Structure 1
């Protein structure tokens, strides 16, 4: 444990930010799992309804990734890579 007052404050701030970052990352992971389940439905039965669900799910996931970038939870290049790979999965499923 730190003895200097400013170091103690920095530890508290780091812990607070860590908890806030976990919220955003958790939402991204949950949305990703949902997206892949919808994507597997699309692959099993390629209907227009399933395709629209997949696009809607991807849109929500992109939104959450962009919000994480805006709040500096994810680096912009990491977000771009994730989004590109997720889009590729959707295009392969069609």
Structure 2
């Protein structure tokens, strides 16, 4: 455990940021699963709407540095490709 006041503060700040990052990543995974579920069922209109939502969430996460912007773009690209192949 840290003895210096600034180090103790950093530990608190890091805990908060870690919790937020974990929450955002969990939301992303859930949104992606819902998109893929809609694809497997064959509900393409719903899948398109969910893809738009996933893209928005990925870009927001990239903007907040939860994930890298290239990773967000790559995910969107791959999901869009999946949708296009299914249709």
Q: Which TM-score bucket, shorter chain as reference?
A: over 0.9
**How many residues of Structure 1 are paired with residues of Structure 2 in the alignment?**
87
Partners of 1:66 and 1:80 in 2: CA distance: 8
**1:6-33: CA deviations, max 9, x gaps?**
1111111000001111121111010011
- Give 1:1-94 correspondences, 5 Å limit: 1-42=1-42, 50-94=43-87
Alignment TM-score, normalising by the size of structure 1: 0.88
Moved over 3 A (4+): none
Shift of residue 4, structure 1, vs aligned partner: 1.2
List alignment gaps of at least 5 residues for structure 2: none
Partners of 2:49 and 2:68 in 1: CA distance: 24
Report the aligned-residue RMSD.
0.8
SS of alignment partner, residue 74 of structure 1: coil
Higher RCO, 1 vs 2 (CA within 8 Å, ≥6 residues apart):
1
List alignment gaps of at least 5 residues for structure 1: 43-49
